[in-house]
Structure 1
């Protein structure tokens, strides 16, 4: 029987391979450094109290209702006093929630000869390993539209199983949802979507006040455009085929458009105080994982520095 080499089959192989590699990666990082960051964050929380929104029983504050969240969240008594809708938030008494969304659309399956693995496999390794480290530090991790936040020690298994049993269309950007105002969001993808779509996504995810990080995972060939001669470029998500007679003549225009696209994304993330970085699949996944974990720690301590914004491979 011939092997199934379709997109779903390739994704299944990538998920299973990333499962094992992510555990090895998470285990190999310097635990003392991570533990020190966790303790520091806990000390800061202890000094300032847990006056944060969450699932506790004590009232904390009212906030404006955000379009897209469930109507049952509205506090109708408070809203009746004003022309706006309000949500009653309770004092934060639960773990911090981090939403991790790895892009699994067809374009992520690309891998050139220069790459260690496909963009899909690379992003899954980082997503799984990051989830493992966050749960070990007492956080909850979820996948938008796929897996609710969990603090389970078997978080990698839960993520992998959720993906393997997911029969929805593979979208390039995360689905619309309303995270809590204190949630962190990590989106791993190639971000080749039009800037208007990326802008809309960011507006929705940040509307509640949540912070996040966009990581553009790219193949080395997508950075340098090392093509020459007659080349046929196939768009993996159904937008057709383009043939270049002399591909090398496209290089300058390609790099200019790439820089512009990244500048536009960075302008949007800077405006929202989010982070944006790029990472090539010929680089170490551990490097990106350490960067993301440092960003999580800094965010919990209230730091959004220009040093962090620079990223590991920006």
Structure 2
């Protein structure tokens, strides 16, 4: 199967017209818990220091500059109108797998690119935390327009797995842990993963992320994971570690393991009130996101 390249991900910019990250569709997302406003978060960002003037808020006096210069100075802030949107990509080697249309890793990259372009064209700043399952996750600070999107897309292409490998249980928790101190009130975090590394510690970190930010989950799946193998014998495994498996005999325990994982993930999303959006390799990312993120008719 062909892996996405930077040219393909950049070209997806033209496919996101009519999509908006302010839209939350209950049809394909589990929406429970507290109300989340579509309005962007607002913050104050430091701009400069100037001489104190009558009427200035005394709480904004810069005491260090005042002491150094011998005259009272105050800090000036500007309102931050661009919402930081963080893409959190869990690109472990186990995603180099797909039974239909595309690899799970390819589905993740294409979904991330569409989300990034939707955010940037909507006036938001785009940043990312990208984990490849082998090295420490890398951070790309939020920036506006193409300056934010292009470095993230390039990093995603570089980080995607290029051969089969074992899933990494640590990439997800490491990525979420790195995200936590970066979140500002009103931030939007879009977490893309197959959640094979989900555990209680990861849930705890996600719970902390939801306190002041909007967090949404994008679950990358493949049809064979839920249905099991068809009739017949199949050689499975990794290079150097392969064996034969019978499709009929393996189907019941296979489905039981999948149902346990599915129940664990959906129960966590319910407890935390997080939208859980499921994307499958047998559909294009645009087909799914067009339903999830399409603007209501009549909006600009």
What's the TM-score, normalizing by structure 2?
A: 0.64
Superposed, 1:134-149 pairs within 5 Å as 134-144=119-129, 145-149=138-142
Higher RCO, Cα 8 Å, sep 6+: 2
- In the alignment, is the contact (CA less than 8 A) between 1:136 and 1:153 conserved in 2? no
Aligned pairs for 1:184-199 within 5 A: 184-199=188-203
- Mark the structure with the bigger radius of gyration: 2
The DSSP-based 3-state class of the residue aligned with 2:98 is: coil
Q: Is the 8 A contact 2:87 2:112 kept in 1?
A: yes
Cα distance, 1:163 vs structure 2: 4.1
For residues 138-161 of structure 1, give each alpha carbon's deviation from its aligned partner in whole angstroms, at most 9, with x where no partner exists.
101111242111113244421133
Matched, 1:122 2:107: yes
State how far apart, in whole Å, the 1-side matches of 2:11 and 2:154 are.
Answer: 19
1:248 and 1:156 map into 2 onto residues whose CA distance is 45
TM-superposition CA deviations, 1:181-208 (whole Å, max 9, x none) = 31111111111224335424423433x4
Distance 2:149 2:80 in 1: 25
State the shift of 1:165 in Å: 6.2
Once the two structures are TM-superposed, the CA of residue 135 in structure 1 deviates from its matched residue by 0.7
Change (3 A) 1:54 1:118: farther
Q: Deviations over 1:30-80 (max 9, x none)?
A: x3x448x79xxxxx86xxxx88334267xxxxxxxxxxxxxxxxxxxxxxx
Partner Cα separation in structure 1 for residue 41 and residue 232 of structure 2: 62
- Return the TM-score normalized by structure 1: 0.62
Mind listing any 5+ residue stretches in structure 2 that lack a counterpart?
24-37, 48-76, 130-137, 161-166
How many residue pairs get matched?
A: 233
Q: CA separation of 1:154/1:91 partners in 2, compared to 1, >3 Å: closer, same or farther? A: closer
CA distance, structure 1, for counterparts of residue 264 and residue 95 of structure 2? 21
1:253 and 1:197, CA in 2 relative to 1: closer, same or farther beyond 3 A?
farther
Aligned residue number for residue 103 of structure 1 = 90
Distance 1:255 1:54, change over 3 A: farther
Matched-pair contact (CA < 8 Å) for 1:146–1:162:
no
Q: Which runs of 5+ in 1 are unaligned?
A: 1-9, 39-43, 58-89, 298-314
Matched with 1:53 is 43
What do you get for the CA RMSD once the two structures are aligned? 3.7
